[in-house]
Each structure stands twice: as structure tokens, then as C-alpha cells.
Amino acid sequence: MEPSLNDLNEPHSMGTTIIGVTYNGGVVLGADSRTSTGMYVANRASDKISQLTDNVYVCRSGSAADSQVLSDYVRYFLHQHTIQLGQPATVKVAANLVRLISYNNKNMLQTGLIVGGWDKYEGGKIYGIPLGGTIVEQPFAIGGSGSSYLYGFFDQAWKEGMTKEEAEQLVVKAVSLAIARDGASGGVVRTVTINSEGVTRNFYPGDTLPLWHEELPAQNSLLDILSAPSPEPMST
């Protein structure tokens, strides 16, 4: 079945797997990096974790345009709010701003978001804001098309009071499991860890991720071909 050229006029959507997890002292946000236009991967290395303030980040899923514009608006309002308040905005305020825009424009927007960050009053917090604009504060949240494959996994693997390393490993494992099963998720795994010390961005390319059931190791992959030294000249 040849891919139709009409697909290139489909709206740009992020199939996506997005995750937000709290741990003892902060939060870890994770996402895949695939943006698709119909059946074509328009961007295989997109960054779905956008900054709202120094201490609050948001994972975006659904329509790429809607989520980008929404996070731009929230960043702008939060900036004003921070100036007026005189101190960093709390995660709750950021999440509620996202919720207000999402709920009041529910007929026109198609985007699910996970807001996560750290502030000095409540510590690390995760808020899930799915389609429709509800706001739910959760110890961990998952979203996007790939999240369907992770509900059971988190029920079993999530526990209270993890360390930073455990939380990050959990997020990377979960995103890579979703990538293995969901066609609309793929590329690399990006994580953002936010705690009292600040923000750390991490990047896990495909070849560092574990292989799951029936996945084969890469052979003659582009990575090998491009980084191979040029062949020796033949000699008799």
C-alpha cells in the first residue's frame, strides 16, 4: 500500500508517549521524540518537553500546533505572574493556567498535557491535564497514544518514595516499552529531572535502550555505516 501524498496535508500530530513521575525530592518527566503527519514521520527528534518557567516543565501530546501555542500562552502568562508575585511560580499555578486555557477552548483544542515541576511549598508535583481540560494531581501520570500500553506496567512497577536514579530508570524503561509497541511513538527518549537543585536534561538514543520481546539487535544500521572507517585499499 503506497503512502498517499495527501498524508502530508494531515495535521501535524504527536502520536506520543509522555510520562511524569514524582520521586523523593522532585519529579522526572519523560517523552519519546516522534512527530507524525499521517503515516510520515515529520520529525524524528522533536522535543516534547517544553519549559514553562525555570522550575516547571510541560510534556505535550496530541496536535503539535495546539500544544505549542498553548504552552507559548502559558509561558507568557506565567512570566507576567512571576513578575507580579515577586517569586517563582508554583507548579499548581502553572498547571491551573494550562487547565483554564484547555477547558475554556475545549471545542477547538486537541491536546493532552502533563505539567511537572518543583517549588519550595509543595516539593515535586505532577498534574495531568487530558483532553477536555480536567486537572488531576497524581503521584505519576501517563499520556499520549503510547500510554495505553503502560497502565498495567505502572500498576506493577510504581512505588512510593523512589530515588532519583530509580525514577529516571523507570521513566526510560516505560517510554522504551511504549515505543516498542506503539507505531506513533519512536525516536529517542528525552527526560527532564526537576528538583530543589535545578533542572537536568537527559537524552537516550535508540541504541542505548533495552531490547524487548522479539526485538532484534541492530545490524548494518545507519549508525554503524556512517561511523565506520573507510575500507582499506585492496592489495595483491
Partner 1 sequence: MSKATIDLPPKGGFSFDLCRRNDMLSKKGARPPSYRKTGTTIVGIIFQDGVILGADTRATEGPIVCDKNCEKIHYMAPNIYCCGAGTAADTEAVTDMVSSQLQLHRYDTGRESRVVTALTFLKRHLFNYQGHVQAALVLGGVDFTGPHLHTIYPHGSTDTLPFATMGSGSLAAMSVFESKYREGLTKDEGINLVSEAICAGIFNDLGSGSNVDICVITKGHKEYLRNHLLPNANVYALKREYTFPKKTEVLLTKITPLREKVEIIEGGDAMEE
**Alpha-carbon torsion 162, 165, 169, 171, what sign?**
positive
Q: Name the minimum Å distance from CB 102 to partner 1.
A: 16
Q: Is 35 annotated in the active site?
A: no
Residues in 72-131 that interact with partner 1 by CB under 8 A:
108
Amino acid identity of residue 138, one-letter, is Q
12 or 164: CB nearest partner 1: 12
Helix, strand or coil for residue 62?
strand
Identified binder of partner 1 from the candidate list 1, 216, 226, 234, rule CB under 8 A = 226
Q: Name the minimum Å distance from CB 160 to partner 1.
A: 37
**Alpha-carbon torsion 142, 144, 147, 148, what sign?**
positive
DSSP for 31-46, written as a single string: E---EEETTEEEETT-
Q: Spell out, one character per residue from 2 to 41, where the chain touches partner 1: x when CB under 8 A holds, - when not.
A: -x-x--xx-xx----------------------x-x--x-
Q: Name the minimum Å distance from CB 115 to partner 1.
A: 20
Q: Spell out, one character per residue from 139 to 178, where the chain touches partner 1: x when CB under 8 A holds, - when not.
A: ----------------------------------------
Stretch that binds partner 1, among 18-26, 57-65, 185-193, 198-206 (CB under 8 A): 57-65
83 or 226: CB nearest partner 1: 226
Print burial letters for 184-200: b (CB count within 10 Å at least 16), e (below 16). bbbbbbbbbbbbeeebe
User: Distance between CA atoms of 156 and 214, rounded to whole angstroms?
Assistant: 22
> Is the distance from CB of 168 to CB of 26 less than 8 angstroms?
no
Stretch that binds partner 1, among 43-51, 129-137, 170-178, 186-194 (CB under 8 A): 43-51
Is residue 222 within the footprint of partner 1 (CB under 8 A)?
yes
Print burial letters for 99-135: b (CB count within 10 Å at least 16), e (below 16). bebbeeeeeebebbbbbbbbbeeebbbbbbbbeebeb
Q: Would you please indicate which residues are annotated as catalytic (active-site) residues? A: 16
- Residues near partner 1 (CB under 8 A): 3, 5, 8-9, 11-12, 35, 37, 40, 42-43, 45-46, 63-65, 68-69, 108, 222, 226
